[in-house]
Amino acid sequence: MSDQPPQRVRPDYRYSLANERTFLSWTRTGLALIAGGVAVEQFATLSLSWIVEAVGLLGIVLGGGTCGWAWWHFRRVQHAIEHDLPLPAQPAAAFVTVGVLIVAALLVVGIIAA
């Protein structure tokens, strides 16, 4: 086995463009979560103010984390494409789904309590 790093290959540009579209999609999702968190913080009128704060902050943090993860994953996938390596796993969908479910549950509690 050689100690040389894998050589960079010229990938089919369609894979790089697909990776970029995925990155932009995750970034758009993150921005939507941030915007939703800000909107809840500014305009929600639930009787339980701690739920408004929790939902707003969770949306903002989840959105920021999604945007940061999107860049990190984009770079990892691009490296794998360029070096003809297996694509890395993508665990973020599960984290974002759980975060959105928590936000939804908190909103349901807030609406029922109102």
Flag whether 98 is in a domain: yes
The pTM for the full model equals 0.84
Instruction: Read off the tokens for 81.
Output: 């494409």
Flag whether 108 is in a domain: yes
The DSSP 8-state label assigned to residue 47 in this structure reads S
Flag whether 44 is in a domain: yes
Flag whether 52 is in a domain: yes
Half-sphere exposure of 96 (CA within 13 A, CB side): 22
Q: How many independent structural domains does the chain possess? A: 1
Flag whether 65 is in a domain: yes
Flag whether 28 is in a domain: yes
The residue range of the domain holding 91 is 13-113
Flag whether 3 is in a domain: no
Cα of 70 vs its chain's centroid, Å:
6
Residue whose C-alpha is closest to residue 59's, from 88, 81, 32, 82: 32
End-to-end CA distance of the chain: give it in Å, rounded: 66
- What are the residues whose beta carbons fall under 8 Å from the beta carbon of 69, sequence distance 6 or more? 26, 92
Chain segment 63-112, per-residue pLDDT in tens? 999 999 999 999 999 999 988 899 999 888 999 999 999 999 999 998 89
Flag whether 36 is in a domain: yes
Residue 26 has pLDDT above 70, yes or no: yes
